[in-house]
Amino acid sequence: MSTIAPETALIYVMVTMSAVDSAMSDNELRTIGDIVKHLPAFRKFETARLIPVAKECASILQEDGGLDAVFGLVKDALPAQLRETAYALAVEVASADLAVGQEELRLLQILRDTLGIEKLIAAAIERGARARHMTV
């Protein structure tokens, strides 16, 4: 039995991605909020819980070994069918600022490894995000 709900795990992934470069931008926070409001995976999640869950994740991340702890909780909480979703949400948050830095790329690699996301699937998810965020 997991210690967190799958919806909480998905939020942890997004918060971790947003915080990885030590600057949670307005675009990233807005993206997280929009995802939680509209994605079917969050239908049963009360949006009023978003901020408390995000703060809970941030608190864990500040501890020694926090990233490992968060990703351990995420891995345990996510059923197989939501692991690609988690990776896609991380990519969406990383893409929110229209620039993906080294810290974010490294975190995506760690997340891929943690969740066992195949390279071709990860590449397809990343390419889809790139296409959605193109500007004219």
The pTM assigned to this predicted structure is: 0.92
Structural domain span for residue 115: 6-132
pLDDT in the model for residue 119: 95
Domain at 90, CATH number: 1.10.3680
pLDDT in the model for residue 3: 85
Asked if residue 49 belongs to a domain, the reply is yes
Instruction: Give the angle subtended at the CA of 78 by the CAs of 72 and 83, to the nearest 5°.
Output: 100
Asked if residue 38 belongs to a domain, the reply is yes
1 — pLDDT class (breaks 50, 70, 90): very low
Asked if residue 47 belongs to a domain, the reply is yes
pLDDT tens per residue, range 37-95: 999 999 999 999 999 999 999 999 999 999 999 999 999 999 999 999 999 999 999 88
- What are the contacts of 25-30 at 24+ separation with CB within 8 A? 25/96, 25/97, 27/96, 27/97, 28/93, 28/96, 28/97, 30/96
Asked if residue 88 belongs to a domain, the reply is yes
The total domain count for the chain is 1
